Amino acid sequence: MRSTNNQDQNTRSELDSLAQMINMSDYPLNDKDSAAYKQAVLTCQQQLENDGCAHLPNFIREDKIELIREQSENVSHLAHFHENKVTPYATEGNPELGESHPVNRYQQFSNGFVAKDLLPENMIIKQLYKNTVFQAFIAECLGKDNIYEYADPIAGLVINTMPENTSLPWHYDTNEFIVSLMTRRPEKGGEFQYSPRLRQPGNENYEEVQNILDGDLTKVKSLTLNTGDLQMFKGRFSMHRVASCKGTRLCALFGYAERPGMIGKIKRTKDVYGRVTEAHIKAEQETREDGLAG
């Protein structure tokens, strides 16, 4: 009985915390039986089913918009920046294939990431990321029984920092889906561009990938995110990039996985964050079950 009471108290505490962060009028995560909650979940599920991307505008409370922007700006100087040439799969090229093949198509990468272990505990994005009520909502929208915090000690929750004249080129994500929150919209540009379900397990669909890399955007969608907007995206299967922008773009990336213990690969982690941990070295021995590159 005491354990149940403690769980109830924890849930109430998390609901109280959530009410101080998000727009409960449009997204009543405190009332799962309400019509508004069910509609929010249904809308997300339909968007994810249709093109692998769900957009939740005005997710953060209006009176907290400036705070999340300020908090992100205050830590943006901690970002690890680097310029590199990367393939969409963040892997080494294959000399047995031609130069035009997608696995050998290197693109300019130049932006920064503030790692999870550098983010203060009092940041709204960190409190939101760890909130189990929020996690349950995300899982329901994704049609999952459970989701787990990304176990990577560096990459579980990060802020992507894109000053003007930087680039985040075409790529696939390591995990199946990502949740992101825009914490500072740039003055102009910075649209999120993606090609829904471009690949599936067992089918890399290299021909269509090559078409996009060659500039054919026929099958590419573009989404403008405002500060405080939440997004769910199945980036393991949909190639995507961020368009160039004027002014700085800051976006928090929430890493969740379908199973516990998810950790990024050494090469990608070192490229993006400039360092790795013992956890990354240990996880390198594991093999992805979906058989996809990157």
**Contact, 139 vs 147, CB < 8 A?**
yes
d(CA 221, CA 76): 28
pLDDT at 150: 85
Give the domain 52-119+147-287 fold.
Jelly Rolls (2.60.120)
pLDDT at 76: 97
d(CA 68, CA 63): 10
Residue ranges of the domains in the chain?
A: 52-119+147-287
Q: Which residues pair with 171 in a beta bridge?
A: 240
Ranges of the chain with pLDDT below 50 = 3
pLDDT at 264: 83
pLDDT at 261: 85
pLDDT at 288: 55
3-class secondary-structure state, position 191: coil
pLDDT at 265: 84
Where residue 271 falls (left for φ over 0; alpha for ψ -120 to 50; beta otherwise) is alpha
d(CA 272, CA 156): 13
pTM: 0.89
pLDDT at 225: 97
Chain centroid to CA 118: 18
